Every structure is written in C-alpha cells, then in structure tokens.
Amino acid sequence: MLKTQDLSYWYQNANQPLFKNVNLEFEEGESYAILGHSGTGKTTFLSLIAGLDTPKDGAILLQDQSLKKIGLTNYRRKHVAIVFQAYNLFTYMSPLNNLLTAMAITESKHAGDREYATQVLRDLGIGEDLITRNVQHLSGGQQQRVAIARTMVCDARLVVADEPTGNLDEDNTQAVITQFQSIAHDQKKCVVIVTHELDVAAMCDHQYRLENRQFTKLA
C-alpha cells in the first residue's frame, strides 16, 4: 500500500541526517510500531508518511504513485487519519460534532450520518451522557477515544498515531492499542504507531526501531 524509497531527511545546517536511504513497506490490515529514543527522528518520519512534511531526498509512494503527484493536501484529506498525542480535537465541540466535522472535511462516505458517528462513539465507550458534552469536560482517556473514533469514521486507508498512549494509564493503554488493532484487522486499514514503550510495540503486528539513522526490523 505505502512504501518509502531511499527516504532521507535532515535539518538545515545539521551535520548528519536524521535517517538516510530508508526503504520500508506498509500494508493494509496490518499494524506497525516504530520505536526509538527521543530525537532519533521517529516523529519526523511519521510526519513525512502523513504528508505533513516533505523528505529532503527519496520518495513516498501510495499504491506506486508518489505523494507529490497525488498532492499533499489531497493526500491528507482523503488518505490519512492522524491521532496526535495532544488529541487536537475541536475543543468547542462535542464528541459527536467532532466526528461529523471530520466526516464532512474528508468527504467520507458516511458524511452527515449522525447515527453512524454515534454508534462508533458508543462502541468506544463514549456513553450517551458524553456524546453531546463539550470535549473539554472529558477525561484524557475519553478524549483519546474520541480522537480514535475520528479516524474510524473517515475513509482514510492509513492511520498514524504519535505516542497515542503517552498520557494514559495501563488499563487505558491496553484499550487504546486494542482499538488500533481492530482498526487494522477489522477495517483493513494500515496503522502506524510511534512509541517509546516496548509493551505497546509488542502488541502491534510489526516492530521497527529507528537508531543510528537506520530502521531495523525487530519482528
């Protein structure tokens, strides 16, 4: 589905690249974890495959078509769903309206379907008393589940998540990763998670470590 070809990235005036000549492939129906210490470039890599930044060298291909040809704006709107560590929800909206807005922006096949959006929230444990409440009144774990629900109602084939369990306790961490696995296996989407937690990575189908500017496959 998605692959990188000799992908390289470096910061201006930096002595060395963050990573160089990276060749990886990501498939639908599978989950992937990217491990690495802070500063190794794993979040930058996630930004590249999410279309939020452009590589200094090499290419990223979706179904053998370069992101440059697809267009980054079109790619982000139609093909990628992002779960940010800070959630990035519309804080003045309810969970339901957050989903409906995302469905409209991405031109989802479910756009405008309040019943569908409500059911997705219910399935993730967001009860009736919370669905129409301002998201600022939800706990961190609840907001994270709303952010995940937002990826589920869009038609994006690629779901990327930056440290999605960084602010969660053990029970919520388990629940969140289980949901990501469901998105990959049941919805047949490609899920890529950046994490520094070995136990989180172990729950994914494939694990890579970014170290010394190269990716190493662990499992």
Three-state secondary structure readout of the chain: CEEEEEEEECCCCCCCCCEEEECCEECCCCEEEEECCCCCCHHHHHHHHCCCCCCCEEEEEECCEEHHHHCHHHHHHHHEEEECCCCCCCCCCCHHHHHHHHHHHCCCCCCCCHHHHHHHHHHCCCCHHHHCCCHHHCCHHHHHHHHHHHHHHCCCCEEEEECCCCCCCHHHHHHHHHHHHHHHHCCCCEEEEECCCHHHHHCCCEEEEEECCEEEECC
Q: Can you tell me the mean pLDDT for 82-109?
A: 92
Model pTM? 0.89
Two structure tokens written together for 135: 């998201």
pLDDT digits (tens, 9 = 90+) for 176-206: 889 899 999 999 999 999 998 999 999 999 9
pLDDT digits (tens, 9 = 90+) for 121-152: 998 889 899 999 999 999 888 998 899 899 88
| Other residues' Cβ atoms within 10 Å of the Cβ of residue 67 | 22
CB 183 within 8 A of CB 83: no
Upper half-sphere CA count for residue 207 (Cβ side, 13 Å): 15
Q: What is the pLDDT of residue 96?
A: 97
Catalogue all structural domains in the chain, each as residue range(s) with its CATH number. Answer: 29-42+72-217 (3.40.50.300)
Q: Can you tell me the mean pLDDT for 71-94?
A: 91
